[in-house]
Amino acid sequence: MYDGTSPSDRPGENNPLQRAPSLQRAKGRARITVGATGGKTRLDDLYQDGCAKVRLPKVYGPEGRDPGVEAVLLNTAGGLTGGDVYATEAEAGDGSHLTLTTQACERVYRAASGIARVETRLSAGPGACLNWLPQETILFDGGALDRALHVDLAEDASFLAVEALALGRLASGETVTAGTFQDTWRVRRGGKLIYADAARLVGDIDGIAAGPATLAGMNAMATVAFAAPEAEARLDNARAVLDDLATAGASALPGVLVCRLVAPDTQTLRKTLVPLLAALAGRDLPRVWHL
């Protein structure tokens, strides 16, 4: 009597009621711009969207010294997984001082499909000081991350950056037997490329990290770059701090100082990384680094 077929009874992939639901992806974008008036840095513009949030804690400095603006980035999604997109843009105007950090370590969880993408674009005007100091990224087993940092500096601007990575949580006995980690740095001064770096770990990351030419079985690593006029003059000071960690080193070219650190765990890494960053920045690190 009834030869019609209910949509819910139709077999096959074309039935919208029988398709597997698509996974929700997190997207976030933050933008901050600062300038300087009368020798003091001020906030000019702030934009935040999606899972990206920005907090601006009160910061203090010695009398007569500009404490600058400190921006703490938050990912309200609680971490990254395949298909997530997180973008940060920041501009330090002429003569200003801006420090960006993160509220906590970023976590890259197992990806069912796709890859998480994080892009950071920073710029600093004449006489500006810009610090990019996020806390560590933790890569979990099966995690997939493609991260890129692009920086444009005026001729006399200074820039300090760190990116640190931990392979799982060592205290929990976690290993990273499969995953993807890609990291790209591009720093330009006056439009000219002065520093480029790239790292790529794909597949059995723990196995790759076990090699004597990679991490020698260690769990944590960090790259620190300091770009400033005559940055190479700070090389001896940086090496003096790194003496406390046998698996660390520093080198310099005109205007650029680069340090590499490898450690058995993040706690050991931080014992050297924190004083190194403070020495290069010429001031204390953001308070979230000490919580």
Enclosing H/E stretch for 204: none
Compute the 3-state secondary structure of the chain and give helix, strand, coil in percent, each to the nearest 5.
15, 45, 40
pLDDT at residue 253 tops 50: yes
Residue 173: per-residue pLDDT: 82
pLDDT at residue 20 tops 80: no
Residue 271: per-residue pLDDT: 97
pLDDT category, 245, cuts 50, 70, 90? very high
Rounded distance, CA 82 to CA 96, Å?
36
> Mean pLDDT of all residues in the chain?
92
> Residue ranges of the domains in the chain?
28-290
Using one digit for the tens of pLDDT, what is the confidence trace for 207-237?
999 999 899 999 999 999 999 999 999 999 9
pLDDT at residue 6 tops 80: no
pLDDT at residue 14 tops 90: no
Residue 1: per-residue pLDDT: 47
Residue 291: per-residue pLDDT: 79
Tokens (6 digits) for 247: 């698996």
pLDDT at residue 23 tops 60: yes
pLDDT category, 11, cuts 50, 70, 90? low
Tokens (6 digits) for 65: 């010294």
Using one digit for the tens of pLDDT, what is the confidence trace for 172-215?
888 899 999 999 999 999 999 999 999 999 999 999 999 998 99
What would the mean pLDDT of 17-24 be, rounded to a whole number? 60
Using one digit for the tens of pLDDT, what is the confidence trace for 138-154?
999 999 999 999 999 99
Residue 24: per-residue pLDDT: 77
210-245 as b/e: b if 16+ CB within 10 A: eeeeebeebbbbbbbbbbbeebbebbeebeebbeeb
* Alpha helices (H) along the chain: 205-209, 235-242, 266-281
What would the mean pLDDT of 10-30 be, rounded to a whole number? 69
Torsion of CA 13, 14, 20, 21, to 10 degrees: 170
Using one digit for the tens of pLDDT, what is the confidence trace for 46-84?
999 999 999 999 998 887 789 999 999 999 999 999 999
Rounded distance, CA 288 to CA 155, Å?
31
The DSSP code sequence of 63-76 is TTS---EEEEEEET
CA angle at 269 for the pair 197 and 189, rounded to the nearest 5°? 30
Is residue 13 packed enough to be buried (19+ CB in 10 Å), middle (13-18) or exposed (0-12)?
exposed
Chain centre to alpha carbon of residue 39: 29
